Amino acid sequence: MTAVSSPLISVAIVEDDEGIRESLAAFLGRARGVRCTAVYSNAEDALREFKIQTPDVVLMDINLPGMSGIDATRELKQLRPDARILMLTVYEDNKALFDSLKAGACGYLLKRTASDKIVAAIREAREGGMPLTPRMASKVAAYFQNKDTVGGELDKLSQRERRTLELLSEGFLYKEIAEKMGISYLTVHQYTKHIYEKLHVHSRTEAVVKYLRH
Partner DNA sequence: GCGAACATACCCAGTTCTGGGTATTCACAG
Partner DNA sequence: CTGTGAATACCCAGAACTGGGTATGTTCGC
Residue 186, Cβ neighbours under 10 Å: how many?
A: 10
- x/- string (CB under 7 A) for DNA, residues 131-170? -------------------------x-xxxx---------
The reply to whether 44 sits near a second copy by the rule CB under 8 A is no
Compare residues 91 and 144 and give the one whose CB is closer to a second copy.
91
Question: Which of 78, 115, 158, 203 touches a second copy (CB under 8 A)?
Answer: 203
100 binds, among a second copy, DNA, none (CB under 5 to 8 A by kind): none
Type of residue found at 205: T
CA angle 97, 103, 107 (to 5 degrees): 50
Q: Decide: 211 and 154 in contact? Cβ < 8 Å.
A: yes
With CB under 7 A as the rule, give the number of residues binding DNA.
24
CB of 181 to a second copy, least distance (A): 10
Candidates 37-45, 116-124, 153-161, 204-212 — which segment interacts with a second copy by CB under 8 A? 204-212
Residue 68 interacting with DNA (CB under 7 A): no
HSE toward the beta carbon, residue 64, CA cutoff 13 A: 26
Report what 158 binds from DNA, a second copy, none; CB cut-off 5-8 Å by kind.
DNA
**How far is 147 from 150, CA to CA, in rounded Å?**
5
The residue from 170, 175, 193, 200 that contacts a second copy (CB under 8 A) is: 170
Could you say whether residue 191 binds DNA (CB under 7 A)? Answer: yes
SS3 158: coil
Residue 169, interface with a second copy (CB under 8 A)?
yes
CA distance 194 to 197: 5
Distance CA(169)–CA(162), nearest Å, equals 10
193 binds DNA (CB under 7 A): yes
How many chain residues are in contact with a second copy, going by CB under 8 A?
Answer: 21
CA–CA separation, 74 and 39 (whole Å): 19
Q: Are 130 and 108 in contact (CB under 8 A)?
A: no
**Intra-chain end-to-end CA distance of the chain, in Å:** 39
The contact mask relative to DNA for 168-187 (x = CB under 7 A, - = no) is: -----xxx-----x-xxxxx
CA distance linking residue 62 with residue 64, whole number of Å: 6
> Which residues here bind a second copy, judged by CB under 8 A?
66, 68, 95, 168-173, 176, 180, 182, 201-206, 208-209, 212
